[in-house]
Copies of this chain bind each other. A is one copy, B any other.
Amino acid sequence: MSRQNFEEQLDGLHRQLMSMGTLVEEAIHKAIKSLVERDRELAMEVMKNDQLINQMEHEIESGCFRTIALQQPVGGDLRRLGTMLKIVTDLERMGDHAVAIAKTTTRLMAEPYVKPLIDIPLMADHVKAMVRDSLNAYIAKDDQAAGRIAAQDDVVDKLYAKIFRDLIEVMSKQEHTINQGTHLLLVAQYLERIADHVTNICEWVIYMTSGQKTDLNK
């Protein structure tokens, strides 16, 4: 296989990766929207679409293995494909967290919210932007950007801590809110985990460009 063929295969895989990223962003967006608007149908859509995300993971993986087997790349080319193999796992896991959020929507349909959800959608907006930015950093081989994106995890962690505190306070004062509060707390945790997966992706990008593994996930 020629160098040109290799680049073409890699481009194809990158396009698939970005499509998968878009699906994951949409899954997060719709899952949170379904929760905020108590939209059971939208929640079901997120659960159903997760199969597509899993399938894309599998296709990209197969593509990576095929390219490794046919092209037998070394050095930076091999690291690039190895990084992609890692990134799709993180993306797939993000999709699972979106499903978990959508399931929460269906569980909390019975009772009204104690107060409107504000911080959770805010946290989700940050997280979605981080997902997209981290994939762009991978494509652009931009380890500087990767470092900056991972640093934004602090904002997410602070929002998570605030939501955690607020919910504990509400639950302590109104004990009938404990079931709801606990589930919302887990939603915040799913978002926090998605941000952790973004940090993983950023670590892979830095590994790919520098060969050095850093621990950005403090």
Whole-angstrom distance between the alpha carbons of A217 and B89 in the complex? 14
Digitize A143-185: 1 where CB-to-B-CB distance is under 8 Å, 0 elsewhere. 0000000000000000000001000100110010011001001
Digitize A77-95: 1 where CB-to-B-CB distance is under 8 Å, 0 elsewhere. 0110010011001000000
Count A interface residues, CB 8 Å.
31
Whole-angstrom distance between the alpha carbons of A89 and B72 in the complex? 23
A195 vs chain B, min Cβ distance (A): 13
A88 vs chain B, min Cβ distance (A): 10
Residues of B within 8 A of A61 (CB): 82, 213
Question: Oligomeric state, in number of copies?
Answer: 2
Q: Which of A55-83 contact B (CB under 8 A)?
A: 58, 61, 65, 68-69, 72-75, 78-79, 82
Given contacts A69-B75, A69-B78, 13 further A-B contacts (CB under 8 A): A65-B78, A68-B68, A69-B73, A96-B217, A164-B182, A168-B179, A171-B175, A171-B178, A171-B182, A172-B175, A175-B175, A182-B185, A186-B189
Q: Which residues of A contact B (CB under 8 A)?
A: 54, 58, 61, 65, 68-69, 72-75, 78-79, 82, 85-86, 89, 96, 164, 168, 171-172, 175, 178-179, 182, 185-186, 189, 213, 215, 217
